[in-house]
Amino acid sequence: MKDYVPGLAGIPATESEISSIDGEKGILAYRGYSIKDLVDHSSFEETALLLMHGELPSPEELEDFKHILQKRNEVKRKIRRLLWSLPPNGHSMDVLQTAIASMATFYPDAGASEPDSEFTQNALVKIISTMSTLVAMWTRISRGYDPIPPSNNMDYAENFLYMCFGEKADEKIIKLLDVCLILHAEHTINASTFSTMVTASTLANPFSSIASGVGTLAGPLHGNANENVLIMLDEIGSPKNARGFIEDRLKNKKVIWGMGHREYKTKDPRATILEGLLKDYINSNGHTLSERFETALEVESICNELLSHKGVYPNVDFYSGILYAEVFKFTKEHFTPIFAMARSAGWVAHWHEQVSHNKIFRPTQIYTGKDFRSYPVS
C-alpha cells in the first residue's frame, strides 16, 4: 500500500522553471533572481514579464508591456453591471472570482490548445491588467461610489491607487505598493497556484483557471490569513498583553496567525523585507510606531523565544496586513484581492507552463470506507 501524505506535504507534483525556495536559508527566487534583488532593482511590470517569459525584458520590451497593460485595463460594461448587481457586503474575493470567471465569456477563443497564439497571449496579459481594475472597482462599488476609470499614462501600482482613491499617490507610497506586488507575485506550488494548475491541466481556458486560483486564495489558511493577523493584533490590543495571549493560544493549540510556513525553517524573506519597509517608512516620515505595529514586534519576539526551535517564524502575512491598513489605508476585506492582483502574474506563468507540457492531474486515494456489501432486498 502506498503511504498517504496529508496535504501532499513534500511531494513533488510538477517540474517548474518559474520560481524556487531554499527554506533552510530563507531564499526565494523568481527565474533565478533573488526576491531581494528584484525588490531593490525591478518593478512589478518587469517582474511579471520575467515570470511569464523567463528572462528580464529589454527597456523597449518593458515599455511596450507597460503600454499594453495601460491599453487593456478597461472592464467591459456588462461586467461593471454585474459588480453593481452583487450585494455590497459580499466578500471581495467572491466578487473577484465571479468577475474573472465571467471574462471567459468575452474571450471564448483564449484556449489552452494554442497557448502561444496571439489571442491567448493577449488574454493572459488582459488578466493581469484587468485584475487591478476589478479590485479597485469593488473598493468603491462596495461603498456605493462609482468606479474611477483607469488612467492610460500611469504605471501599474500608481494606477491602482489612483482608481481606489481618486488622486495621485505619494511616490513613496507608490514604491511601497510596487514592492508588495513583487513580493506577492509568485511562490512556487502553493495551494492557489496548484489549484490553477489542476484546472489548467484539463485544458480549461485561462480565465476559468485563474478563477480557481482566486477561490483558493480566499481561504483563511492561505491568502486570507493577513486579515486574521490584523484581527489578532487588535484583539491583543497592546504589547503588554502579547505574552499571555500567545501562551494561551499555544496551550489550547490554536493558530497564531502569520506564524510559520511549510516551506521555510527560518523567517520568510518576504516578511523580513516588509518589516524593513514599514520601519523605513515610519522613520523617514517622522512617525512613531503604532501600537498595532509595536504589538506585532512583541508577538514576533515572543514567538521567536517559544517557537523558533520548531522552525516557526513570521511569514509574509504577518506584516502585510499592517502595511495595507496603516500605510495604504485599505480596509481589511480588500487585503486578499490585492494579494490576488499581484499573484495573477505567477498564476498566468504557471497556466502557460502547465498547458505547454500538459498531463492532466489525476491522483489516487487510499480508501478507508466500508468493504463491498450487498444492497438489502426485502
Point out the residues that are catalytic: 261, 317
Determine the residue type at 205. N
Separation between Cα atoms, residue 346 and residue 194, nearest integer Å: 11
Separation between Cα atoms, residue 321 and residue 333, nearest integer Å: 10
C-alpha separations of 310 from 38, 135, 251, 301, 319 in Å: 30, 37, 16, 15, 21
Separation between Cα atoms, residue 76 and residue 311, nearest integer Å: 47
Cell of 302: 515572543
Query: In 10 A of CB 334, how many CB atoms?
Result: 23
Q: Phi and psi for 30 in degrees, rounded to 5?
A: -105, 120
Q: How many CA atoms lie within 13 A of 69 on its CB side?
A: 25
Question: Of 185, 178, 174, 173, which is closest to residue 33 (Cα–Cα)?
Answer: 185
Q: Residue 376 contacts by C-beta under 8 Å, 6 or more apart in sequence?
A: none
Q: Which residue has the cell 520560481?
A: 19
DSSP codes of every residue in 316-352: HHHHHHHHHHHTS---GGGHHHHHHHHHHHHHHHHHH
Facing residues of 19 across strands? 30
Query: In 10 A of CB 74, how many CB atoms?
Result: 15
